[in-house]
Structure 1
Amino acid sequence: MSIVRVNFLPEFYLGEDAVLLTLDGSGVDEMKDAVEEARNNGSSRFVHDGVDQEFHIEPGAATVELSPSRVVWRLDQAKAAEISQDLVALGVPRDSGRTAGHFYIDMTSPAETLVISRDEYTDVVYPGVTPQ
């Protein structure tokens, strides 16, 4: 079973709020495929562990709406391309064979930073926190 978890974490990134996207290798592939489908078709969705992940391409958007059973990604083409490129990079093992790594993406809501992480934080299941 792959790992795809999205959490809002207060004070997670240098004392600032962040959205953490936790993935393993299969989860990276699922997210990459969904982002690419949305880039090509304007929207996409998949369900993972009972959580509906929806992607919508909208001009000027860079937001994530979180609830326990649904995550709605609203991204413009440039932000979707940036996320897709980072997912491609996370899908390729380094020369050392290591796969763990992360990228930081500027967002507008519910936090200014999205952390996309592969094979990090996978043993931790963060409680659902609703952004204020």
Structure 2
Amino acid sequence: MSIVRVNFLPEFYLGDDAVLLTLDGSGVDKINAAVVEARNNRSSRVLHDGVVQEFYIEPGAATVDLSPARVVWRLDDAKAAEIADDLVSLSTPRGDGRTAGHFYVDMTSPAETLVISRDEYTDVVYPWVSPE
């Protein structure tokens, strides 16, 4: 089973709040497919492990609305393209054959930083924390 988890983590990134998107290899592929579909069709939806991930392309948007059973991504096309590029990079093994790594993406809400992580933090299941 693939890993796709989205958590709001207070003080996670250098003492600042962050949203952590934790993925394994098949999770990267699943979320990338959803982002690409949203870029092509203005929206997409994927269900994973009981959590609905909805992606909407909206001008000027860079937010993630979080609840335990639903994550709503509102991204402008440039932000969606940046995330898709990061996901493609995380799906490609480096020269040493390893794939673990992460990217930081500037967001506006609920935190200023989205951390997209592949094969890191996969053994940790963070407790649900509401960003409000």
Could you tell me the TM-score, scaled by structure 2's length?
1.00
Point out where structure 2 has 5 or more consecutive residues left out of the alignment: none
Within a 5 Å distance, the mapping from 1:63-102 to structure 2 comes to 63-102=63-102
Identify the residue that residue 108 of structure 2 maps to in structure 1. Answer: 108
SS state at 1:60 partner: coil
| CA distance in 2 between partners of 1:43 and 1:95 (Å) | 35
Per-residue CA shift, 1:38-77, capped at 9, x if unaligned? 0000000010000000000000000000000000000000
Identify the residue that residue 17 of structure 1 maps to in structure 2. Answer: 17
Per-residue CA shift, 1:96-116, capped at 9, x if unaligned? 011100000000000000000
Identify the residue that residue 118 of structure 1 maps to in structure 2. Answer: 118
| CA distance in 2 between partners of 1:5 and 1:99 (Å) | 18
| CA distance in 2 between partners of 1:45 and 1:91 (Å) | 21
| CA distance in 2 between partners of 1:58 and 1:129 (Å) | 26
| CA distance in 1 between partners of 2:77 and 2:128 (Å) | 28
Q: For this pair of structures, how many residues does the alignment match? A: 132
Per-residue CA shift, 1:13-39, capped at 9, x if unaligned? 000000000000000000000000000
Deviation at 1:86, TM superposition (A): 0.2
Runs ≥4 in structure 1, deviation > 2 angstroms?
A: none
SS state at 2:27 partner: helix
SS state at 1:120 partner: coil
Query: Please, what is the CA RMSD of the aligned residues?
Result: 0.3
Q: Would you say 1:55 and 2:55 are equivalent positions?
A: yes
State the one-letter code of the partner of 1:108. Answer: T
| CA distance in 1 between partners of 2:5 and 2:85 (Å) | 19
